Structure 1
Amino acid sequence: MRAARFDRYGPAEVIRIEERAVPEVGDSDVLVRVDASAVGVTDAVSRSGTPWFARLFFGLRRPKYPLLGTEFAGTVERVGPGVTRFAPGDRVFGAAEVGAGATAEYVVVGEHAAVAHAPDGLDAAHAVATVDGFLTALPFLRDAGEVRPRQSVLVNGASGTVGSAAVQLAKHLGASVTAVTSGPNAELVRSLGADRVIDYTRQDFTTERDAYDVIFDAVGKRSFGACRRALTAHGIYLTTVPTGAIMLQTPWTRLFRGGRRAAIAFTGLRDSRTKGVELEQLAALVESGAFVPVVDRILPLDELVAAHRRVEGGHKVGSVVIAITDAAGPADASAADAATADDSREANGAPA
């Protein structure tokens, strides 16, 4: 089978596509023929080895996990003799463990790992585009932020993979949502459910005062210090980027201050069984029209280097998807796909 690999840290050009043996299937394993994978920030970080603290997990001097890709969507090819949840021919989507190598023609995952039956009505490319953003945004908003109905939530970086998922989830949780993005993406985030849109090229949301119960910086561009006064008296600031400052501010503001506080969630370290349950919830949300995928573009496996460059460029809208097979979905799809989000939501009775 063809699989993506890198043997040293560096730019996107260190990636190569090589031939490997199809993985063996254990008693409780599922072998998935991958139709589509996704390239996320974690893939780019693991390949580049930057920022420096990422190497504490990915390997200090050389990559500990040389096979690329975690998110996948495809069809079950074989199952181990102890598997009861899945059968050959089932359409599935999920997130493999780091190093399993989901950007490949086949990947093995545990039956009770982060894998679930794919949502009806989505091709593989659009199914895989929902995974990373949802599995990241959900624990941030639901667990760390404790978002509740009638709260005010601001999402910075609202058109990215995590941000677009956060807008939809915050709305689903009953919050009033303010989305921060650039002007060209304003209609996209409105279609995802944002009640208000701020164009960051024209307005700085941090100049507001006592405005938001939760500020979720999905791109790690604004600090707790910059956002603090925009929070309500007991508001919480969340960020996806584990800087030294946030690592100190999280325990300090929780233990020694009774007002505004900061928090980070290490979503990649959560139990894979929990993620599997959440993927089942995601499938139900997609099928009800309450959650829609946002696809930046779909590229073939041979253009994986270009996909990594796109992710590192910081201007993608939604997920960059890699088509492993023709069954992934139409090529050259873009974020314009999400322009139909309003129609999908209205047709299913969901709020636009």
Structure 2
Amino acid sequence: MEKMKAAVYTEYGPSSNLTLQEVPKPEPKANQVRVKVHAAAVNDYDWSAVRGKPNVYRLMFGFTKPKRPILGMEMSGVVDAVGSSVQSLKVGDAVYGDISDDNFAAFAEYVCVNPKVLTTKPETLSFAEATALSHASMLAYQGLFDCGNLKENQKILINGAGGGVGTFALQLAKLHNANVTGVDTGNKLNMMRNLGFDHVIDYKKEDFTKSGIEYDLILDAKTTRTPADYSKALKPRGEYITVGGDVSKLLGILIKGPFYKKKMRILALKANKDLDYMHQLIAEGKLKCVLEPKQFTLSQAGEAVQYFGDGLHEGKVIINIAE
């Protein structure tokens, strides 16, 4: 049996539990393709899964130990094997996508997935950029437009603005002449100013829910406050959309949000749905992928996840797996 290298963890704990190991190289089923992975990205899912925290997540990850020993839901690479019933892709095709609807195993040299979760990579995008685009841009776009109904010249706030979702959301909102405030901290603040945020708030110094300023739309990538807090920062007809964050606070939005006159919703992501539009914007020079300058290799997957968890990243954290 052929082997491949992967970042594997077999018990919950620190991200250092992710270690480089040799495991069986997967073989595609009839309805799958195998992709030689060039790059993967780190997400909240990986940070929560490796630690098994919050504990409620273990209902999904595995109660006493991980059900999936290999993490990673965003990837790009080249098809190197095709199942017998697959006609949409062929060996040699460069592809990418959010594979969470089919598999969570991108921190590896190879992964087998249904081609329905993959998109052909434009030549204008590097593998790292394509990986960054697949999940975060969809959260940003669907959060702002499908859920948030963003309109021209609105005043919006993005919480957790220095990561992948925030950097895409800013650029998309600016296409509609929005006035955009970003909330984050540390080195991200200068990056956010340079990227074009109209106002930047350091959450360690200022609580935007207590400033008295009201917004037409809040897009939240962190969800660290209660519905009552967010309500204070919304205009009478304002909308609050969360794309992820603290589980207890998300439950608060789900249960208590409907009792407020202002709309509060949790985005139900449709993976990869609007990537063709993102391709168009990138080709027109209207959108770019912001990548964390510090790059990681597959053997450093644990470090990459910890870096993400510590909130040190500017844009998307990428793990380079193959050149």
With structure 1 as the length reference, what TM-score do the two structures score? 0.82
Task: Report the counterpart of residue 267 of structure 2 in structure 1.
Answer: 265
Aligned equivalent of 1:250, options 246, 250, 254: 254
1:251 deviation in Å?
Answer: 4.8
Aligned residues between the structures: 317
Percentage of pairs with the same residue: 33
Aligned equivalent of 2:5, options 2, 21, 26: 2
Q: Which amino acid aligns with 1:314?
A: G
1:193 deviation in Å?
Answer: 4.0
Deviates more, 1:213-222 or 1:298-307: 213-222
Matches of 2:95 and 2:284 in 1, distance apart?
18
Task: Report the counterpart of residue 316 of structure 1 in structure 2.
Answer: 313
**Secondary structure of the equivalent of 1:238?**
strand
Q: Which amino acid aligns with 2:107?
A: T
Q: Which amino acid aligns with 2:173?
A: A
What is the CA RMSD across the aligned residues, in angstroms?
A: 2.3
Matches of 1:249 and 1:45 in 2, distance apart?
20
Task: Report the counterpart of residue 157 of structure 1 in structure 2.
Answer: 160
Structure 2 unmatched ranges of 5 or more? none
**Secondary structure of the equivalent of 1:213?**
strand
Task: Report the counterpart of residue 85 of structure 2 in structure 1.
Answer: 82
**Secondary structure of the equivalent of 2:317?**
strand
Task: Report the counterpart of residue 276 of structure 1 in structure 2.
Answer: 272
Task: Report the counterpart of residue 35 of structure 2 in structure 1.
Answer: 32
With structure 2 as the length reference, what TM-score do the two structures score? 0.88
1:33-71 Cα offsets, whole Å, 9 max, x none, are: 111111222111111100112112112222122211111
Instruction: Determine if the alignment matches structure 1 residue 216 to structure 2 residue 213.
Output: no
State whether residues 250 and 261 of structure 1, in contact with CA within 8 Å, keep that contact through their aligned partners in structure 2.
no
Instruction: Determine if the alignment matches structure 1 residue 306 to structure 2 residue 303.
Output: yes
Quickly say closer, same or farther: Cα 1:308–1:191, change in 2 above 3 A.
Answer: same
1:28 deviation in Å?
Answer: 2.8
Quickly say closer, same or farther: Cα 1:224–1:35, change in 2 above 3 A.
Answer: same
State whether residues 209 and 231 of structure 1, in contact with CA within 8 Å, keep that contact through their aligned partners in structure 2.
no
Task: Report the counterpart of residue 191 of structure 2 in structure 1.
Answer: 188
Task: Report the counterpart of residue 110 of structure 1 in structure 2.
Answer: 114
Quickly say closer, same or farther: Cα 1:245–1:21, change in 2 above 3 A.
Answer: closer
Task: Report the counterpart of residue 289 of structure 2 in structure 1.
Answer: 293
Task: Report the counterpart of residue 20 of structure 2 in structure 1.
Answer: 17
More helix by share: 1
1:101 deviation in Å?
Answer: 1.0
Matches of 1:170 and 1:121 in 2, distance apart?
23
**Secondary structure of the equivalent of 1:130?**
helix
1:276-295 Cα offsets, whole Å, 9 max, x none, are: 33233333322222221111
State whether residues 242 and 264 of structure 1, in contact with CA within 8 Å, keep that contact through their aligned partners in structure 2.
no
Displaced runs of 4+ in structure 1, greater than 4 A? none
Deviates more, 1:184-193 or 1:221-230: 184-193
1:104-146 Cα offsets, whole Å, 9 max, x none, are: 1111121212x11123322212221222311322332223322
Deviates more, 1:179-188 or 1:285-294: 179-188
